[in-house]
Structure 1
């Protein structure tokens, strides 16, 4: 019996980070919580996206602007097959879930439309929502969460959507392939920084794209 040598290895997507950020490096303002998920002033970081047609479509809304920014938002989600987030991104909380656990900030029909893996210290049954989003709660670390996400995504990308500590863990562990930042023209001065606690060794990046508009600057990097 012979084995074919023409079989191609299965294609595998990238692991990406895609986030809006202030000029001074914050992704949320201070005093974040379940009722204030982006912190004080943090909503300003996403002002550029709210009127875009592609973002509005993801939220089940009509209308909006169709421009280069809108194209970038559509492009950033079109190949995402699974999402990973931390507990604070999901609920801005910690500790046991309690008898009536919070179901996230996105309502009954979250905009993800793909499996979402939430990294937490506390077990919880999967949460099935409308529109194809199921939140699965992973208690054994980032590597296991990524393994499950890659299995769910197949040959599509896995996106790490936050919060900051979760992104830091994945970057520090060398598990991220690409980072895209949308730099809003604002200095928050306080809040949650994206790139802290990464250790003392430099992390080299290759800049692969810069796109400027009147409301935001889009930067994309490959981690080398």
Structure 2
């Protein structure tokens, strides 16, 4: 049975994008990361928010532009959107209902991970009680503004249990299990 994982690179001050959705800040931190290299073959599908799917690409101008994990992963992708494009991208399934998209992504993933891309989709997974794990790649930079990893006006604690901490040349990885009790 698939597990739902939110894996994301984040600045030390808690932002996953810079102002206006900028992802170019991430370029210096895309270097080798053994834990991510081990994770990629364990991903069975992607569950992506439309803003993330259509947004800035940290691999812009590189051969990995427009490809998941800079071209390191290939497989079924499910984009949650209320406005599917008139010319759908090949290999991408556009779904207008979050629960349906999650079910399809889990089915496609089999016994591998559904990797979540996008803060809003991760929040919806949390609110539905469907998020199993979080892998944070802390980049040694402060952005000061942008999209927060998790924002819930008025607060909403999500208890986590640390699984591992791994130092890499470009980031520190913190892997958590979501406490669902």
**Is the TM-score greater than 0.5?**
yes
8 Å CA contact 1:172–1:199 kept in 2: the answer is: no
1:91 to 54, 58, 63: 54
Residues of 2 paired with 1:173 and 1:199: CA distance?
18
Counterpart Cα distance in 1 of 2:83 and 2:159 = 34
- Structure 2 gaps of 5+ residues are 57-64
Question: Which residue number in structure 2 is paired with residue 76 of structure 1?
Answer: 39
TM-score (norm 2): 0.83
Q: Residue deviations 1:172-208, cap 9 Å, x none?
A: 2211100000001111001111110276342110001
Are positions 1:49 and 2:6 aligned together? Answer: no
TM-score normalised over the length of structure 1 = 0.68
Greater fraction helix: 2
Gaps of 5+ in 1: 1-11, 33-38, 53-68, 94-104, 129-133
Q: Which has the higher contact order (CA 8 A, sep 6+)?
A: 2
Larger radius of gyration: 1
Corresponding position of 1:190: 145
After the TM superposition, list the runs of 4 or more consecutive aligned residues in structure 1 that deviate by more than 3 angstroms: 123-126, 198-201
Aligned length: 167
Equivalent in the alignment of 2:162: 207
> 1-side partners of 2:12 and 2:101: how far apart?
30
Alignment partner, residue 16 of structure 1: 5
